[in-house]
Amino acid sequence: MASTLSKTPFTTLPSSSPSPKTVPRFSLPFSSLRSHSQRRLLRLAAACALSDAAAATAQPFASRFALHEPRKGADILVEALERQGVTDVFAYPGGASLEIHQALTRSSAIRNVLPRHEQGGVFAAEGYARSSGRPGVCIATSGPGATNLVSGLADAMLDSVPLVAITGQVPRRMIGTDAFQETPIVEVTRSITKHNYLVLDVDDIPRIVNEAFFLATSGRPGPVLIDVPKDIQQQLAIPNWDQSIKLPGYTARLPKSPDQKLLELVVRLLLDSKKPVLYVGGGCLNSSDELRRFVELTGVPVASTLMGLGAYPIGHENSLQMLGMHGTVYANYAVDKCDLLLAFGVRFDDRVTGKLEAFASRAKIVHIDIDSAEIGKNKQPHVSVCADLKLALGGINRLLESRGGVGVRKLDFRGWREELNEQKRKFPLSYKTLEEEICPQYAIEVLDELTNGDAIVSTGVGQHQMWAAQFYKYKRPRQWLTSGGLGAMGFGLPAAIGAAVANPGAVVVDIDGDGSFIMNVQELATIKVEKLPVKILLLNNQHLGMVVQWEDRFYKSNRAHTYLGDPSNENAIFPNMLKFADACGIPAARVTKKGELRGAIQKMLDTPGPYLLDVIVPHQEHVLPMIPSNGTFQDVITEGDGRQSY
């Protein structure tokens, strides 16, 4: 998934900056530290002069410090965050980040939401960013604290989530000596971040923070890491807040306005098409209004990826819901039979395409994406536009509107839509109706009904994730939070924390599985202490459900360590999730019968503050439809479960 250009208010590239020099990975070489004290005196004097000159024209910022008052590097770092508009961070302290936390206590603008594990912190920062569109910020100490961020950084990289991660580091003189709690986190994370920095000069902090937020939110968003040695945090300095961004190579590669001739070609292809379909991904989340207008003008049916859910309302008649491995039959049918595939903000992921050669094999393909690296990477398009999708869709809509309705009147896809409606009637999303047992799909349908489809939903990874994608009817972008590319179990609860912090007053529900939930169960303490009204709908089947499904289908139901209960007492629910909640002072209940489910979910929603509802569901249920890995539409499975042999 490649996202459109973020519309965040935090940083803008100065229009009249001096000719920039090449930016190295690190802000200063180690060899230059010997004359540091002499050079600092000159820089401090220059900073004072620059500050005086800029004070008259710059927008006033209420700093805690006097204009020329020296302050610690940690205080400069925190004020740099304040100047970016940061109001919430997810930070877990340690020895190498202690100064940063001390500085946070001196800030009246930034609230720290204390996670109980650094992975919980980075996933919470992701939930904050995914649900709000603003960059999330997490902070960890050096060594194991920093390495605990790795899964979250990789997740943000794959799903194009704007994130700024700050780590403490051992003092500069100790780097490379295998000091206590030292890890080279810049090297560890180089391939899973959009960019990263090791700060070696306290005077670089304002520029580095400014660049980090610009990088995280511009172009295709992603995570940026800033590693700050402890002695830099402790060093006194007078900051120069007027340093310009120095990223000439990066800014030169940012996409320009879309080529008008290419947009006209897209319109011509659409006019010539009989069976077009939209294939929309996470890159459409910032372009939802333009996407809806395009569908209003053209009537083209919309199939969404897992990451794109909500960009177009699931309940609309033009929606085909999700495509791909566990997508609807009619969405995958549409892609298989279409003559024009409009791929907007997508990356042709293997869980969508299956066998690449057979994917949309009858269609001309138009690929619009902000990341040039994604165009032609997996599937070669006939027409490609590397641009901000919001601008490209806006331009296409204007072309359609400027034709005075002539072009729009030619777009008559009623026969194509009726063909797809027939597929909807023949292959609706469905599930077995059990007598007393609770179908997990039914639980999500009841939640959708009782929340009127308005909740912000996070998930872990597995069967419950796919059912939440299939059976909750998302109305708007940033309502659906899930780990798509990385598929990180344990994501749901901390992501819900971030969403609740970013969206006070919203209904936030973590639809989770017992396997995913227990991976970050410690974050129950966070939602209790921070008084976050996170609701947890736990679909508990005592198994790693998705792996069990593959065991059923492809391994003759041989269980290979996928049972999560107590083998010595298989009739008991183990572990008792209610006791985890009770240990943290969170109200909880368990429901085992279908007739009790609706009332139990309503009570969960009506109870102030956090709540855990443990819903016991059968482990034999399978997520259907299913196209096996590297399969084609002809291989789709629509029937069966773990009660049968294969």
Which residue in the list 180, 426, 570, 579 is annotated as catalytic? 180
- What string of DSSP letters covers 260-303? HHHHHHHHHHHHH-SSEEEEE-GGGGGGHHHHHHHHHHH---EE
Cα 108 to chain centroid distance, Å, stands at: 28
Quick one: pLDDT at residue 630? 95
Q: Among this protein's residues, is 118 annotated catalytic?
A: yes
Average pLDDT of span 545-572? 96
Distance CA 216, CA 14 (A): 17
- Of 16, 17, 19, 46, whose CA–CA distance to 203 is shortest? 46
- What share of the chain in percent tops pLDDT 70? 90
Quick one: pLDDT at residue 201? 98
Mean pLDDT of the chain: 91
The backbone torsions φ and ψ at residue 227, rounded to the nearest 5 degrees and listed phi first, read -105, 120
Identify the top-confidence range among 12-16, 28-32, 306-310, 434-438. Answer: 306-310
Token duo for residue 25: 């990975």
Which residue in the list 546, 577, 604, 626 is annotated as catalytic? 546
Compute the CA torsion angle 446, 448, 449, 454 (nearest 10 deg).
150
Quick one: pLDDT at residue 114? 98
What confidence category does residue 634 fall into, taking pLDDT thresholds of 50, 70 and 90?
A: very high
Q: Tell me the whole-structure pTM to 2 decimals.
A: 0.90
Which residue in the list 181, 528, 530, 574 is annotated as catalytic? 181
What confidence category does residue 434 fall into, taking pLDDT thresholds of 50, 70 and 90?
A: confident
Quick one: pLDDT at residue 306? 98
Token duo for residue 229: 């040695």
Average pLDDT of span 486-498? 98
Residue at 338: amino acid letter: C
DSSP state of 562: -
Q: Among this protein's residues, is 546 annotated catalytic?
A: yes
Distance CA 36, CA 363 (A): 62
Distance CA 148, CA 19 (A): 39
Residue 448 has pLDDT above 90, yes or no: yes
Quick one: pLDDT at residue 567? 96
Q: Among this protein's residues, is 180 annotated catalytic?
A: yes
- What share of the chain in percent tops pLDDT 90? 87
Residue 213 has pLDDT above 80, yes or no: yes
| Least reliable range by pLDDT among 20-24, 422-426, 487-491, 548-552 | 20-24
Residues in the chain: 646
Bridge partners (DSSP) listed for residue 341: 277, 365
Radius of gyration of the chain (CA): 26
| Pairs from 182-190 (Cβ < 8 Å, separation ≥ 24) | 182/142, 182/143, 183/142, 183/143, 183/144, 183/146, 183/147, 185/142, 185/146, 185/147, 185/225, 185/227, 186/25, 186/26, 186/225, 186/227, 188/146, 188/147, 188/150, 189/149, 189/150, 189/153, 189/225
Q: Are 574 and 590 in contact (CB under 8 A)?
A: no
Bridge partners (DSSP) listed for residue 615: 539, 591
Residue 563 has pLDDT above 50, yes or no: yes
Cβ-based neighbours of 38, under 8 Å, separated by 6 or more: none
Q: In what order do the strands lie in the sheet with 340-344?
A: 319-322, 302-304, 276-280, 340-344, 364-369, 383-386
**Segment (H or E) for 386:** strand 383-386
Residue 4 has pLDDT above 50, yes or no: no
Average pLDDT of span 122-142? 98
Q: Are 523 and 116 in contact (CB under 8 A)?
A: yes
Distance CA 596, CA 408 (A): 51
Distance CA 351, CA 362 (A): 20
Quick one: pLDDT at residue 433? 87
Residue 49 has pLDDT above 70, yes or no: no
- Of 194, 185, 198, 89, whose CA–CA distance to 144 is shortest? 185
What confidence category does residue 408 fall into, taking pLDDT thresholds of 50, 70 and 90?
A: low
Distance CA 86, CA 55 (A): 22
Residue 60 has pLDDT above 90, yes or no: no
Quick one: pLDDT at residue 403? 77
Quick one: pLDDT at residue 52? 45
Residue 3 has pLDDT above 70, yes or no: no
What confidence category does residue 32 fall into, taking pLDDT thresholds of 50, 70 and 90?
A: very low
Residue 521 has pLDDT above 60, yes or no: yes
- Write down the H helix ranges in 56-149: 73-83, 98-105, 118-132, 144-147
Cβ-based neighbours of 336, under 8 Å, separated by 6 or more: 358, 360, 361, 362, 632, 633
DSSP state of 247: -
Which residue in the list 79, 82, 118, 211 is annotated as catalytic? 118
| Least reliable range by pLDDT among 409-413, 452-456, 608-612 | 409-413
Bridge partners (DSSP) listed for residue 164: 137, 224
Quick one: pLDDT at residue 409? 61
As separate numbers, helices (DSSP H) first and strands (DSSP E) second, the chain gives 25, 20
What is the biggest distance separating any 2 CA atoms in the chain, rounded to whole angstroms? 81
Average pLDDT of span 156-178? 97
Residue 54 has pLDDT above 60, yes or no: no
pLDDT tens sequence across 576-618: 999 999 999 999 999 999 999 999 999 999 999 999 999 999 9
pLDDT tens sequence across 395-406: 999 999 997 655
Quick one: pLDDT at residue 59? 62
Residue 639 has pLDDT above 90, yes or no: yes
pLDDT tens sequence across 112-131: 999 999 999 999 999 999 99
